[in-house]
Structures are given as structure tokens and as C-alpha cells.
Amino acid sequence: MAKDNNRSFFSNEMILDIIRNYSNDTIYFKDTDSRFVWTSRAHASQFGIDDPKQMIGKSDFDYFPKEFATRARKEELEIMDSKTPLISNIEKLEKPDGAVVWYSASKYPVFDEKGKVIGTWGISRNITALKTVEEELSRANEKLKRLSQVDDLTGLFNRRYFYEMLEKTSYQYNRRAKTGNPDDPKNTFSLISLDIDFFKKINDRFGHNKGDDVLRVIASILTSQCRKSDMVFRIGGDEFMMLLPDTPLKGAKTQAERVRSALASNPLFLDDSSEPIRLTVSMGIACYADCNDAAELIHMADDRLFTSKNLGRDRST
């Protein structure tokens, strides 16, 4: 008997009043013209309205920017036409003062007793705080990802990322070779292995801080001679790699000569002496079309680098 009394105590009117006055979510009902016929206090309060009944007969166009209201009206027309709800839709509201508010919104069709659609109703929750945290986490993850890929000293990509990108690039070109013209220069890529000549002598004479400056200068010159598609890596110490997509051996040799010329025209002052230091590098060039796999490509480039050193340095082979 007590259970029946409890049920009768919660009248429909009382339930609606509780929802209207105490729900933190915005809840509303609209007619077929998208005009409000019922709305919650939380909904009204976001517009500075104390009494939700003041919104009756008005629409989103009276409260929201035109673009936002137009999008909402279009969604409601589709819901009424299809008789299908729109669940957990993420909405972005840009206020006139520049503030951005995010909502998770669900909208449903309203049916009369005969099953005819007579409007829509919806519920939305302000998730701005959650989106802010998500964006902060995204930025932090992106920073961590970049840190895992980048050499701290030079700002170039690091050894770990080199092997990752080489594997990815060789896989792409293996697939392309099966479907494309094997004689097309774009169906291969090249690798330049590079060392700074006599780098140990620079460190011994000027100190490791100046040696770090040299590494940064080399990194800057290498990147300045690259196309947007090229990638430069510091493998370790004074060892660098240049990954050149869509580049046959001839194009890689041209690239290497550009690097050598750029270094020759940029002597570096490392102390108060009037004598600048002319930086030179030795390079080894290999093309993927001449190799069976990525490991052989690296081995060939390194072998040719040592050949350059044995031939007197300041050159590529």
C-alpha cells in the first residue's frame, strides 16, 4: 500500500517541475516551427533569463548566433522528417565575445497519440570543461610525440624516427613498384648518409659547446637545401641521414652537391680568431631501386660514405 501512495505522490506535473527547476542539463520541447513550448531553468539561465516561461514562443534565433541557430533548425527538420533522433551530437558555440562553449546534445522527435510528429525535444550538457581537458591532453600528447621524434640539440628528426620513416617509405614504394611503371623516377627514393669532416678536431680545439654550435649550423644548412617532402635526421654524434622521396640516384647526387656548395659558402667563426672555419662533409648516396630492402640501402649509403672519406673527404660518392 505504501508503494502505491508513493507512486501517486509523484504526479506528472511535479516531475516536470523537478526536471525544469533542478536539472543541470538544458532540456526543451519545440513545436514544428522550432519554437519553444517548454524549457528548463538551466536552459534559460544560460541566457540570463530567470523564468523559463519567458522563452515560450521564441526560437534559437532569438538567443544564438545565426549560424548556430540555422544549423539547429536544419537538424530539427531532418529529425521530424525522418522520425529519427540525433544522439550525442557534439555542438560548438562561438559567442560574440569570442568565448567557445561545447555541448553534447541529443534531439528526438515528439509524437502525438496518433503517431504524428508534432515537434522535437532535446537535452544537452555543457562539456566545455571536458573539451578543454581533452585539448590540453591532445597538445601534451602531440608534444610528447614530437619529443620522441626530434633530436633536442639540432631540432632534426632523431635516429628512432629515421628507422620508422624508412620502414614506412620502403613499404610504400614496394607497393607502388607493383602497380606503377618501374622506370618512372618517382617510383623510387634515395638516401644520403653524411658525416662532418674532422669533427673530433673541432671539438678538441674549440670545446664541445662550439661543437654543438657546428651541429646546429650543419642541421640548418641541410634543412635549407631540402624540399618539403625531404626529411633530415641526426642519427647520433656528427652522423646525419637525408631521406629523399621520389628521387632517383641522379637527383640525390644533385642534392648532395647543393649541400656541399652551401657549406663551402658558409664559413663559420668559432672563436675570436680572424680565421673562419670551413665546414665540409663526406656523403654516401644510395638509391632504393638498386637495393633489395631498406637494410641494404643503409649499408650501401654507409659504404659509399666511407669511400668518400677514403678519397679525401669533402665529397659524395
> What is the reported pLDDT for 183?
61
DSSP 1: -
Please state, in angstroms and rounded to a whole number, the distance separating the CA atoms of residues 298 and 166.
Answer: 10
The model carries a pTM of 0.59
DSSP 59: B
Q: Tell me the pairing of strands 231-236 and 190-196.
A: unpaired
Please state, in angstroms and rounded to a whole number, the distance separating the CA atoms of residues 136 and 80.
Answer: 37
Which numeric CATH code is attached to 2-132?
3.30.450.20
> What is the reported pLDDT for 1?
47
First to last CA, the chain: 97
Q: Give bridge partners of residue 315 from the DSSP assignment.
A: 282
> The domain at 150-316 falls in which architecture?
2-Layer Sandwich (3.30)
pLDDT (tens place) for every residue of the chain, 317 residues total: 455 555 566 788 888 888 888 888 999 999 999 999 999 999 999 889 999 999 999 999 999 989 989 999 999 999 999 999 999 999 888 888 888 889 999 999 999 999 999 999 999 999 998 888 888 888 887 777 777 899 989 999 999 999 999 999 999 888 877 566 656 666 799 999 999 999 999 999 999 999 999 999 999 999 999 999 999 999 999 999 999 999 999 999 999 999 999 998 888 888 876 688 889 999 999 999 999 899 999 999 999 999 999 999 999 99
238 catalytic per annotation: yes
Same fold, 2-132 and 150-316: no
Please state, in angstroms and rounded to a whole number, the distance separating the CA atoms of residues 213 and 216.
Answer: 5
Residues 6+ apart with CB under 8 A from 228: none
17, 60, 238, 302: the active-site residue: 238
Locate all alpha helices (DSSP H) within the chain, ordered by sequence.
2-9, 12-22, 41-45, 66-82, 128-149, 159-179, 199-206, 208-224, 249-264, 294-310
> What is the reported pLDDT for 77?
97
Please state, in angstroms and rounded to a whole number, the distance separating the CA atoms of residues 214 and 73.
Answer: 62
Within the chain, how many helices (H) and strands (E) appear? 10, 10
Query: Where are the chain's structural domains?
Result: 2-132, 150-316
